[in-house]
A = this chain, B = another copy of it.
Amino acid sequence: MSNYQNYHMTPEEFRRHGRQVVDWIADYYESIESMPVLSQSKPGQTRASLPAHPPEDGETFEAILADVGDIILPGVTHWQSPNFFAFFPANASGPAILGELLSAGLGVQGMLWATSPACTELETHMLDWLVEMLGLPEKFLSTGSGGGVIQDSASSAALCALLAARERATGLASNEQGCDGSLVAYTSNQAHSSIEKAVKIAGLGRQNLRLVDVDDRWAMRPDLLAAQIKNDQQAGRVPFFAAATVGTTSSNGLDPLPEIGNICSANDIWLHVDAAMAGTAALCPEFRWIQKGLELADSYCFNPHKWMFTNFDCDCFYVADRRTLIQALSILPEYLRNQATESGAVIDYRDWHIPLGRRFRSLKLWFVIRYYGVEGLRNHIRRHIALARMFADWVAADDRFELAMPPPLNLVCFRHRGGDEINQQLINRLNRGGDIYLTHTSLHDRLTLRFCIGQTGTEQRHVVQAWHRIKGEAEALEKNL
């Protein structure tokens, strides 16, 4: 029977336990390469190690922390491992983790400007900094009619863009009377599943989302988009929203923004651009071509929590006209009324996204940008892209393998020429082995391996080792066949 339960952790105890956790994390990063990247845990294994019932009495912090290593760690897939090449990265860094810690320690709510002015103003300022850092169109600056906000994810950003577009297309009608089934949305058949999810959530109906076909580099075909819009208009429907992608999840395909943007402008269609991972590349002037045409977009998002060393969640979402977004999402009950809001002189971010509550996420962006400096961030992005090109060259030079396409940035899609079966076995063996973790996609109906370089700690030696492992497993498989 302990008596911990009757007291809160004191500042002195917090100092002691805080150091224990900081050291635990430092130890974790020092030993991360010794653990299998993909957890080898079986369904139910973690739960089986946990007590069936919650404890009546409190426990020591040391006992709890010890269980993190014993019970949790075997069930963790190590997203921060330098040998993680799966999906998209969700990279973190020291300054980001400590910014998150500070945010948790301050524990403020930023739903209104008035509930913590610095929480709103630092966020607005960081989002404006990022417009400059990435060379985004100036219309996204908060100093004009636009502005940026941190969302949890590109999925939520896409939903908010869709809602603002619905608002613009119907006046207040869709908010007041509900959708009438006439609205039609467009994206490519390579776009992220979040677009389809948003269309469903917003009550527009999946059948009113057109999935436009792509070219041989998995970029949306503007001619097909234009034709589809024309068809829909002729059928009496209302094209109102298009989502273009800069760097599709499957293959890093880059939609042609200038052509798509012109079509959208001509037809009064809201253009949302999702550059969740790839957007970070625009820190480097030499990669800004990926966002050419973005000045035609109504909204834009990219995720520092993917490739800009800022731990999840931190999606940066911009609109060119903030009024439409705010109209779509605004609520103002009496208990939230306050002088600052009514003066119109401040931003209340509650009206820029789905949740009401929000934490102080801009702290970690501020920490990351200042700790690295813009030039430091560029340096790491250039390094990742150079490593991806090096890896792609090795694949291209090996007769047994082929590239699905030359990698535009940091994602290499490739396959063994032996067909789906050998590629499936290859990926299974690699991931079971624990040295590296990579995932797959389907391109032209063929199983394709994705090798995405974006982890904070990934260096040349990790990529060299990964290629060595891939070749080794391929050789073993070839012998068996």
Contact = CB atoms under 8 A, between A and B. Distances in A.
Contact of A346 (B6, B43, B124): B43
Contact of A21 (B98, B328, B370): B98
Contacts of A309: 8
A367 interface: yes
A18 B18 CA distance: 8
Contacts of A63: 370
Nearest to A455: B107
Counted per complex, copies of this chain come to 2
A369 B175 contact: no
Interface string A371-394: 111111101100000000000000
Given A102-B25, A118-B76, A30 B11 contact: yes
A187 interface: no
Interface stretch (A148-156, A261-269, A399-407, A463-471): A148-156
Given A15-B22, A22-B18, A61-B95, A369 B54 contact: yes
Contacts of A174: 203, 205
A206 to B, nearest CB: 5
Contact of A371 (B59, B175, B450): B59
A131 to B, nearest CB: 10
A380 B30 CA distance: 39
Contacts of A53: 129, 132
A59 B23 contact: no
Contacts of A335: 87, 249-250, 439-441, 450
A354 B24 CA distance: 32
A409 B84 CA distance: 49
A155 B45 CA distance: 33
A76 B119 contact: yes
A153 B355 contact: yes
Given A4-B373, A29-B11, A102-B21, A118 B75 contact: yes
Interface stretch (A176-184, A212-220, A238-246, A415-423): A176-184
Please report whether the interface of chain A is mostly helix, strand, loop or mixed according to DSSP. helix
Contact of A122 (B50, B132, B457): B50
B177 A101 contact: no
A333 to B, nearest CB: 4
Nearest to A206: B176
Given A97-B101, A132-B54, A175 B153 contact: no
Interface string A311-339: 11100000000000000110111111000
B156 A366 contact: no
Given A109-B79, A367-B64, A8 B94 contact: yes
A94 B224 CA distance: 56
A98 B17 contact: yes
A218 B376 CA distance: 57
Given A50-B122, A77-B116, A104-B100, A373 B30 contact: no
Contact of A376 (B4, B95, B104): B4
Nearest to A345: B43
Interface in A59-107: 59, 61, 63-64, 68, 71-80, 87, 90-98, 100-102, 104-107
B43 A77 contact: no
Contacts of A15: 22-23, 26
Contacts of A108: 76-80, 90
Contact of A359 (B29, B93, B203, B312): B312
Contact of A46 (B12, B43, B117, B192): B117
Given A91-B107, A107-B312, A197-B354, 13 more contacts: A8-B94, A8-B456, A28-B105, A39-B118, A41-B117, A43-B343, A53-B132, A55-B374, A57-B373, A64-B371, A72-B122, A87-B115, A90-B108
17 contacts: A4-B372, A8-B456, A14-B26, A14-B98, A18-B25, A22-B22, A46-B125, A77-B115, A80-B107, A87-B115, A90-B107, A91-B107, A159-B201, A176-B205, A192-B333, A312-B357, A334-B442
In order of increasing CB-CB distance, the 8 nearest A-B pairs are A5-B376, A203-B203, A75-B118, A9-B94, A178-B205, A18-B22, A25-B105, A153-B355
